[in-house]
Amino acid sequence: MNVSSAIQRRRTIRRFKNQFVPESMLIKFVDAARLAPSAGNSQPLEYITVASASGCEKIFPHLKWARFIGGGDTPAEDKKPAAYIVVLINRNIAAKGGGHESGAAVQNILLSAIEEGYGACWLRSVDRAAIKEAFGIAGHCDVDSVVALGKPAESPITELAGDDTKYWRDDRGLLHVPKRSIDTILHKEKF
Ligand SMILES: Cc1cc2nc3c(=O)[nH]c(=O)nc-3n(C[C@H](O)[C@H](O)[C@H](O)COP(=O)(O)O)c2cc1C
């Protein structure tokens, strides 16, 4: 799959099949993150991979799903993610910031996941203190994000946004993701 096609096909997935994610896949995704750009090539990010049932149970309660969907959009028991990558910022390397690096690295993870037939959700509404405690994360590392992963059990629809960009589920449970049009966001030569 080429990059353009992965970019077009990537949508956030919040419903997963009950299918184990092999460690080799998680290593591939972290390796894609490892090669992402960083300010001054500082590379402040580190990662925890989680694929065991007990590890997944430990992290799941600390995640908030899709705040724009009334009542939230937490996956049902049989649609939970099969693996996670916790993205950490090493504060000995970057005393402040790290968010831009995390953005680039996570996007690499998301696109690599698509290429391998996986779906993912990038979560930043997470209980950082609880995750830090649950996984024994050293004091000099902050939890930035969590990427939830697994084989997708839904196929969200990309559509053109009007005034409202809020994503929504229809009566059949299909997720609609409105994106602003190129005409709305592109300014040629001048604003
Ligand atoms: C920085 C950032 C934080 C996000 N945090 C969450 C989150 O905590 N929970 C969640 O369900 N989705 C989260 N998302 C996923 C967005 O809701 C999703 O990207 C958006 O609805 C657009 O859908 P798309 O990814 O399919 O383009 C986050 C996305 C980004 C970029």
pLDDT tens digit string along 126-149?
999 999 999 999 999 999 999 999
- CA 122 – ligand 1 centroid, Å: 6
The H-assigned helical ranges of the chain are: 3-9, 23-34, 53-59, 99-115, 128-134, 182-185
Query: What is the dotted CATH code of the domain comprising 3-154?
Result: 3.40.109.10
- At the top level of CATH, the class of 156-191 is mainly beta
Nearest CA to ligand 1 atom 5: 123
1 compared with 58, residue with greater pLDDT: 58
Q: What are phi and psi for residue 145, nearest 5 degrees?
A: -145, 165
Ligand 1: which atom is nearest the Cα of residue 175? 26
Average pLDDT, the chain: 97
Place of tokens 């001054």: 40
Q: Which residues contact 77 (CB under 8 A, 6 or more apart)?
A: none
pTM value? 0.97
Q: Which residues contact 100 (CB under 8 A, 6 or more apart)?
A: 39
Domain ranges for the chain: 3-154, 156-191
Nearest CA to ligand 1 atom 31: 122
Nearest CA to ligand 1 atom 18: 12
